[in-house]
Every structure is written in C-alpha cells, then in structure tokens.
Amino acid sequence: DTAVSQTPKYLVTQMGNDKSIKCEQNLGHDTMYWYKQDSKKFLKIMFSYNNKELIINETVPNRFSPKSPDKAHLNLHINSLELGDSAVYFCASSQDGGGGKGHGEQFFGPGTRLTVL
C-alpha cells in the first residue's frame, strides 16, 4: 500500500536514448510534481500538475515531457538523453483542493536514479 510509487527505481541508459519514468499515487491527491536532485543533492522543481493540468514548468529543456493521464498518475518522458540528465528524479503529490489552500505537505516517491552513459 505504497503512497507514492515510481518505476523504475534505477535506470541506466546510453546517451541519445529516450526513456520514461512512471509515477502513481494512491493518496487521492489532486497535485503531482517532478523534482530533480543533482549530484550535489540539490533538489529543484521541474513540473507540477493539478487535476491533470500543467501548472508549473520550470525552464526545463523541451526534451522533458510530462504526461498526466489521470489525477493519480504523472509520467516523465525524456528524449535524446544527455550526460547532464544523470540525477535522481522524485515524484511527489499533495492535496491542495478546497479553495486552493492545503496543509502543504508533499509526499515523495522513492526516487529514480537515472544514469546516462
């Protein structure tokens, strides 16, 4: 009964390939996020979706394309992978309904370590 799950947990691939990371939450939350943690452990928002609608897109290269088929899922597709894409990618979710004010907590998935060779 994992709250936020991601697959795969590890992804090793060659430069130039296309790959996807999947995320699912069973908390009934209406907002989902993708964060990137770089080699120095710095965490930065990439995207945010609320009820399947893209809300935040933080100057991420066009090679990254999020897709939210429904409220419980937010997938991340990466085209033409580059060495600099190597990082840990975290999915998170929160409940922000009810007039736009939630308690603020975001629940994180276990992360996907992407290594581009």
Residue 48 token pair: 């945010």
Q: Which stretch binds other proteins (CB under 8 A): 19-27, 51-59, 67-75, 79-87?
A: 51-59
Size of interface with other proteins, in residues (CB under 8 A): 31
3-state secondary structure of 46: strand
Dist CA 18 CA 36 (whole Å): 17
**Does residue 69 interact with other proteins by CB under 8 A?**
no
- Least Cα distance to 22 among 59, 95, 85, 72 occurs for 72
Dist CA 50 CA 71 (whole Å): 8
Q: Which stretch binds other proteins (CB under 8 A): 13-21, 41-49, 62-70, 73-81?
A: 41-49
Q: Which stretch binds other proteins (CB under 8 A): 14-22, 59-67, 78-86, 91-99?
A: 91-99
**Closest distance of CB 16 from other proteins, Å:** 27
